[in-house]
A and B are shown apart, each in its own frame.
Chain A
């Protein structure tokens, strides 16, 4: 079983309560099962009694996890509780126990997978996973001509659902197109896509051959530092919401804030603490489709953490942006916030 690769995590987490206050699912369901301890206990029983993997209650717990990794980041030893859940999902898939809703989602991702590359010859390739205006925003900010690779997903969705083979196949195609493009830098505003290319692909033995993978926040920071982009003009108070994939998977916390501050925004801390994930299930990619009620509960918790109902939110996560916007909360993407007050050098 794949969970056997994480027995150190099972052993460490099964009797440990020290991060339960940060479990994004547990903080709205209040279930013991929805904590790293609860999940490790379940998986420990499965480790000892593999037939129990078929228990639908156990399967449900694994797919309710947000994979936010806030607990892993908090842990003094950084035990990979999120990685353990991913391995459990792989086991569920390989034992043909995957819930119908998960299968359908994965199938739909596969059917819509049709990566398209536009432009040629430029150094910078924008990887866009949303039907949004990111590439235009970035071009406007940097005055650069770019290539654009438009995809519905980088393989991250099947990967977090436990369908690793499907994810690897998608990754292979995307990586081939990127390499063929001749670019030297890939920039994406999607933290999930960034994490996929930066961390997942190399773990699937995709070698980038010197191509740099950048999230838009670190890329823009470099341009600002090199005085190729000037940000100014605003004195609005905003609350920056960390992306799980940026903060908890890639330690990118400073650059987005720095950019906003350089753009003149006054940043107020959101909520009561800097450790909790407020990304509303971003790292689970499709939690709003699999467990809409759960995400709604997270939105309610988010609202309860706001200083005022009209607080202006900025997030680097397109997923979090979409959920918050759907809930009627005043929210901007990082690029929108920067574009609102930028001038080319």
Chain B
């Protein structure tokens, strides 16, 4: 049901919500609603930039407990009101946008750190915790989550769980789904459930993994237990400039298939090295920049570092040394601050995909070909961010400096680039996304990605959320 705000029925529901979670936790003010109408997705930013009317929720609810969330779900189900979970609002896929209005369920007051288990090295926290604040609290206790995404300062823990986020050190410490022990979740019908306490078991299919990445379409995750780690004795970096991306990729993939355990590898293609590495790190030479780092006990780090450098040197790169690696680490978030980040009036998008080493370069070239041949006004750049034993993630980007001023025309162009580029990735063994999620932006492509298996996901959604109140319009589930 779409809520109308100018009638007595709205006031009745408004009151009911206030009685359920407290008047201070139900808001309808214009300033906050404006904030909830725009996330980090380019299209609502464009909409705002062009002074188009915002598409806000009617009500913002800020529950303080899982039981509060359950009460909101029951009320929303009763009236069939859309509920869109909102954490930090910093997702780039439009996943938190309340496109059908209704309730924006803001989780930021679910922000308690509940327990640090120093014997098992786990932390249990509510999902509305700001990730940087959570990391600071963990560090104060002498540990680290080792989850260092560029959005660490912006996003909530729940946001990462909702779309399977990742951090800079994912190559050693994993994506968020590798860090999770168990979760507490409120189902769309208002039941509070917990998944099994450990992530490795043979007690049936893994519900934890089913809910991770569900982007608020199957309920709201309210609590999580994560692995934490001792602060490593040392962390060291090294950087090389390769003649081209292919030789850098050969080195990077050998580094992984040799089963060394870097904490991070990042490889920038030649255009991104010229555009961003030059701008942020000041390296003004042609080539493909590759940086990697190891952490842990110093003797082990030094040994692995030496082996990794040996592998790289086989390709005859320019050795930029440890300093240019450390500088990259020190500036790792700088890329995302204005004016370094792409910004209006530019149109830009991160064509995030992942594939095996056998396929990833083909994916890169196919996407690049599609973008540059069909959209000559666009620049295509990319880097390879998160590396696994079997492949890596491509963080490709397109940038148009001067998109159409008409918002409808600009949106159409934007969507067309996305569709063609992602299809090119899928045709070559890539998937829709690696760590930004699906959201509103890519939902339409989910049936293509999954084929007839998508029907299974739809049936799960139907069973869990029969009234389709949870984040409608996202993940390809429709309205």
Is B133 close to A, CB under 8 A? yes
In the complex, which residues of chain B have a beta carbon less than 8 angstroms from the beta carbon of A61?
31
Q: Chain B nearest CB: distance from A319 CB in Å?
A: 25
Asked if residues A12 and B29 are in contact (CB atoms below 8 Å), the reply is no
Bound Cα distance from A57 to B109, whole angstroms: 21
Q: Do A21 and B51 touch across chains, with their CB atoms under 8 A apart? A: no
Instruction: For the complex formed, measure the closest distance between the CB of B29 and the CB atoms of chain A, giving whole angstroms.
Output: 4
Asked if A58 is at the interface (CB within 8 A of a chain B CB), the reply is yes
Interface centre among B30, B130, B155 (most CB of A within 10 A): B30
Q: Which chain A residues lie closer than 8 Å to B343 at the CB level?
A: 11-12, 15
Cα of A276 to Cα of B88 in the assembled complex, Å? 18
Q: If A31-B35, A45-B34, A57-B29 touch, does A17 touch B151 (CB 8 Å cutoff)?
A: yes
Given contacts A30-B109, A77-B338, contact A17 B136 (CB under 8 A): no
Q: Is the interface of B mostly helix, strand, loop or mixed?
A: loop
Q: What's the interface size class on B, roughly?
A: 35 or more
Residue among A18, A22, A41, A272 making CB contact with B34, cutoff 8 Å: A41
Contact with B along A116-139 (1 / 0, CB 8 A): 000000000000000000000000
In the bound complex, CA of A112 to CA of B163 (Å): 57
* Closest-CB distance, B407 to chain A (whole angstroms): 13
Does A226 touch B at the CB level, under 8 Å? no
Residues of B within 8 Å of A55, CB to CB, are 30-31
B contact residues around A12 at 8 Å (CB): 338-339, 343
Q: Report B-chain residues with C-beta under 8 Å of the C-beta of A57.
A: 29-32
Looking at the assembled complex, report how far the CB atom of A292 sits from the nearest CB atom of chain B, in whole angstroms. 15
Cβ-defined contact, A31 with B32, below 8 A:
yes
Closest to A39 in B: B31
Neighbouring A residues of B132 by C-beta, 8 Å:
21
Residue of A nearest to B331 (CB): A76
Interface residue tally for chain A (C-beta within 8 Å): 36
A41 near B38: Cβ-Cβ < 8 Å: yes
Contacts of A272 in B (CB 8 A): 133, 136-137, 139-140
CA distance A76 to B340 in the complex (A): 10
A16, CB-defined interface residue at 8 Å:
yes
| Number of residue pairs A-B, CB distance < 8 angstroms | 106
Shortest distance from the beta carbon of A119 to any chain B beta carbon, whole Å: 48
Of residues 29 through 61 on chain A, the ones whose CB sits less than 8 Å from some CB of chain B are 30-33, 35, 37-38, 41-42, 44-45, 48-49, 55, 57-58, 60-61
Complex alpha-carbon distance, A110 and B48, angstroms: 41
Q: Using Cβ atoms and an 8 Å threshold, which residues of chain A touch B27?
A: 31
| A17 in contact with B31 (CB, 8 Å) | no
Check B231 for interface membership: any CB of A closer than 8 A: no
B435 contacts partner chain A, Cβ-Cβ < 8 Å = no
A271 → chain B, closest Cβ, in Å?
8
B140 to A, closest residue via Cβ: A272
Q: Name the distance in Å between B48's Cβ and chain A's nearest Cβ.
A: 7
Q: Write the chain A residue with the least CB distance to B334.
A: A76
Tell me whether A19 is interfacial, beta carbon within 8 Å: yes
| Residues on A with beta carbons closer than 8 Å to the beta carbon of B153 | 17-22
Q: Which residue of A lies closest to B41 (CB)?
A: A15
Do A11 and B154 contact each other (CB < 8 Å), given the known contacts A41-B34, A57-B29, A272-B136?
A: no
Chain B 300-341 interface residues, beta-carbon cutoff 8 Å to A: 333-334, 336-341
Binding site for B on A (CB under 8 A): 11-22, 30-33, 35, 37-38, 41-42, 44-45, 48-49, 55, 57-58, 60-61, 75-77, 79, 272-273
Give 12 pairs: A residue, B residue, CB < 8 Å, sorted on A: A11-B338, A12-B339, A16-B341, A18-B333, A19-B153, A20-B88, A31-B27, A38-B34, A55-B30, A57-B30, A75-B337, A76-B333
Q: A30-B62, A273-B133 are in contact. List 4 more A-B contacts (CB 8 A).
A: A11-B343, A30-B111, A32-B89, A33-B32
